Amino acid sequence: MSGTATKKAVDRPALLEHLARLATDADAVEEARRVFLPLPSHRLALRPEIVVIEGLRGAGKTSLFHVLNALGDEVPTFFDDPSVPAARWVDAFSEARGHPSPAELDALVAGLAASHDARLRAFWVVHLLTRLEQAGGLGARVPEPIAGARAAHPHDLAAWLPVAERNIGAAIAALEALDDALEQQRRFVFASYDHLDRLGLLAADRATRQRLVRALLAFWLSASTRLRRLRAKVFLRPDLFEEAERSFPDASKLRPRAVSLDWSVEHLYRLAVRHLANRGPHVETMRDWLTAKARVELEEHRDFGVLPGPMPEARQRALATALAGEVMGKGARKGYTHRWIPARLRDAGGRIVPRSFLRLLGYAAQHAQRDPPGQGPLMEPTSLVGALGDASRARVNELREEYPLVARLEHLRGNILLLARPKVVAALERGPIGGDDGLGRDGGAVFEELQRIGVVEVRDDGRVDVPDLYRYGYGIKRKGGAKAPR
């Protein structure tokens, strides 16, 4: 009996330390093959005809990008789907070294009139050829006139791109020759593009990003009907894809070639288990707890670590109960913990991104480490409530990088929801915070944009609500709810 008590005293700190890693490891890519959770939407995205893979920030686009490029020809095995084609994966654009920096591309666009967007398409064609040549073993070659001009001005896009534009036919022919060779070999090459949402940020100019993304998608819309074995996987936020669809002829034809990375509640719980069971300082201790206390099924997946089995609501409830107890709050307003967690992380469109889900659990463990309960669940419900504030602040800081206007929610600090729409619009008219967001004193335009990106919503009675995921970060209040930590 005493030995069992000692073991419990040791295990609780170990489990909380392990769980707390989720706060910083939500985007771990160095061990992608052991923490990435393969989903049906991912398998659909791997079909050759799919060009655009869209998802909100934090939805796992970059994680998928990294796992695909890291696994290479192991992709079909990892996703356990024989219909997924074996392919060579090439990093065609990302934040890694070897690509022009966002600053270089911003400067290029700033110096080009709108009528010269063909030069941007020439950039994407030549850069693709360059990356294919650097990958080796494919036989890709940049045409000599372009290669010579680029070698003479390696860091000056504006100096060599006119040569690329004049010789674009030769560059396209080089891609088609590679595609013909791949067809004979019955091989696929997937060119993957990530971090396109970082373009234009340094210039604080959304139009810069729109022009670059439009040029890339216009090229691949044309190429996807001509190239059979050389294919693209372009990772985009939904708003950037929507803007591109409105910006050039026939762009709507890309919609059937797009897949959205949306997450169900079950998939979010399974992802958390996938991380906990494969990464951290106390993996074996955590696996024992997950199977014994949380009743989670774990199974080996070759050399890719363990995978959680199905997690219907009953198992979600068992895991959340072992984590923080069965219910949040007291009395008539109490709710089940397993439902409370995802409900607090939804945006106004009902979407939850895995990054916020993992962070919430990690932050909650950090709160519990400061004052852990002596017995029962790993933490008190108040640890989850306190963590929601941390997760909310992290999320709004992310959004502010791409949508500076989100900072205007600061004008609602201290208000109690729900609010009349005119009052919210009047608050938003007080102007930008922390720099120009491009909308001046037009509170109505700000409101519409916040509504479009899921930061505010209008209820059926016309009053305005702000999802918990955002309101906590700006100190916007709501009556009732679970008790926060002191």
Write the pLDDT tens digit of every residue in 126-178: 999 999 999 999 999 999 999 999 999 988 999 999 999 999 999 999 999 99
Q: Does the pLDDT at position 110 exceed 90? A: no
Q: Cis (ω within 30 of 0) for the bond into 418?
A: yes
Confidence of residue 472 (pLDDT cuts 50, 70, 90): very high
Amino acid 100 reads P
Look at residue 159 in the predicted model and tell me its pLDDT: 93
Confidence of residue 199 (pLDDT cuts 50, 70, 90): confident
Selecting from 1.10.3470, 1.10.10, 3.30.70, 1.10.600, what CATH number does the domain 403-486 have? 1.10.10
The whole-number average pLDDT for the span 234-257 is 87
Q: Does the pLDDT at position 61 exceed 60? A: yes
Average pLDDT, the chain: 90
Pick the range with the lowest mean pLDDT from 191-200, 244-253, 352-361. 244-253
Which pLDDT tens digit goes with each residue over 405-461? 999 999 999 999 999 999 999 999 998 888 788 888 999 999 999 999 999 999 999
Which pLDDT tens digit goes with each residue over 285-308? 999 999 998 889 999 987 899 999
Confidence of residue 120 (pLDDT cuts 50, 70, 90): very high
Look at residue 480 in the predicted model and tell me its pLDDT: 65
Residues of the chain with CATH 3.40.50: 40-260
Q: Residues 6 or more apart from 136 whose CB is under 8 A from it?
A: none
Kindly report the number of other CB atoms within 10 A of residue 407's CB atom: 18
Rounded Cα distance, 359 and 354, in Å:
8
Residues of the chain with CATH 1.10.10: 403-486
The whole-number average pLDDT for the span 36-53 is 94
Look at residue 205 in the predicted model and tell me its pLDDT: 63
**236: β partners:** 54
Q: Does the pLDDT at position 25 exceed 80? A: no
Pick the range with the lowest mean pLDDT from 24-33, 34-43, 270-279, 384-393. 24-33
Please work out, in degrees rounded to the nearest 5, the angle formed at the alpha carbon of residue 77 by the alpha carbons of 74 and 81: 130
Is the CB of residue 360 less than 8 Å from the CB of residue 387? yes
The whole-number average pLDDT for the span 477-485 is 66
Is the CB of residue 39 less than 8 Å from the CB of residue 61? no
The secondary structure of the chain, three-state, reads CHHHHHHHHHHHHHHHHHHHCHHHHCCCCCCHHHHCCCCHHHHHHCCCCCCEEECCCCCCHHHHHHHHHHHHHHHHHHCCCCCCCCEEEEEEECCCCCCCCHHHHHHHHHCCCHHHHHHHHHHHHHHHHHHHHHHCCCCCCCCHHHHHHHHHCCCCHHHHHHHHHHCHHHHHHHHHHHHHHHHHHCCEEEEEECCHHHCCCCCCCHHHHHHHHHHHHHHHHHHHHHCCCEEEEEEECHHHHHHHHCCCCCHHHHHHHEEECCCCHHHHHHHHHHHHHHCCCCHHHHHHHHHHCCCCCEEECCCCCEEECCCCHHHHHHHHHHHHCCEECCHHHCEEHHHHHHHCCCCCCCCCCHHHHHHHHHHHHHHHHHCCCCCCCCCCHHHHHHHHHHHHHHHHHHHHHHCHHHHHHHHHCCCEECECHHHHHHHHCCCCCCCCCCCCCCHHHHHHHHHHCCCCEECCCCCEECCHHHHHHHCCEECCCCCCCC
Rounded Cα distance, 400 and 326, in Å:
35
Rg value, the chain, Cα: 25
Look at residue 4 in the predicted model and tell me its pLDDT: 40
Selecting from 3.40.50, 3.30.420, 1.10.150, 3.30.870, what CATH number does the domain 40-260 have? 3.40.50
Structure tokens at 197: 């949402």
Of the candidates 444, 12, 53, the one whose C-alpha atom is nearest the C-alpha of residue 235 is 53
pTM over 0.85: yes
The whole-number average pLDDT for the span 334-363 is 95
* Residue 236 backbone phi and psi in degrees, to 5: -140, 150
**401: β partners:** none
Confidence of residue 256 (pLDDT cuts 50, 70, 90): very high
